[in-house]
Structure 1
């Protein structure tokens, strides 16, 4: 007589590091990972895709495109020292306000420089007129 297990024997369960459970069935093979677990792993560890596209014509390089893609979570990116989204005016309202303030300050400084140059230009013009008048007066004396 062969021994059989009762039908209500529980399937072994293994707990992952992230707390989710994996059930092992026939042959103790793990079930396929679902998309959420895969995405969590990718964002936690990070993925780098890199490639170059070059277009040459008769050994003359016409075009080179370098593609670099880093796929990570925001937390992982900050650990790596990447935080460009904080300073991009298209993505951050604070960066947009800072950019607007810098543009306004730049415009004000340009106006001040132009105002400062105007008296110098005016005084140069007056000096030129004075030289012409002096030359004209001296020409009359000689003639």
Structure 2
């Protein structure tokens, strides 16, 4: 829990933190876990894995500039509609181009004796 000042309430030695309080603190402040794994053989780097894990509430993540889920069509209906709109625009342009080419071909066919 937090105090009216917005600072986390300190735990005294006699109180125990329950899981909900810990989760509230983590989501409110956010936690970043970072680590690198490198595999070298005779001073030649064979593999590098960079691991980054951010645990935070959605509001806190947005404050940090993390909002990738809003752009992912698999996770956001707005992104899915935007993607479908772009696909429909592309299909419409392609359809118009094909109709124009078909009209040209038909006009050439009519010109032949």
TM-score by length of 1: 0.56
Aligned to 1:104, which of 63, 88, 94?
Answer: 88
Distance in 2, Cα, partners of 1:16 & 1:81:
24
Distance in 2, Cα, partners of 1:108 & 1:63:
46
Stretches (4+) displaced over 4 A: 110-116
Aligned to 1:53, which of 37, 43, 46?
Answer: 37
1:31-46 correspondence runs (5 A)? 31-46=15-30
Larger radius of gyration: 1
| Structure 2: gaps (5+ residues) | 106-113
Aligned to 1:66, which of 50, 53, 76?
Answer: 50
> Does the residue aligned with 2:36 lie in a helix, a strand or coil?
strand
- Structure 2 CA distance for partners of 1:16 and 1:74, relative to 1, 3 Å: closer
Q: Give the length in aligned residue pairs.
A: 98
| Structure 1: gaps (5+ residues) | 1-14, 123-143
User: For the aligned residues, what is the CA RMSD?
Assistant: 2.9
Give 2:3's aligned residue: 17
- Structure 2 CA distance for partners of 1:96 and 1:62, relative to 1, 3 Å: same
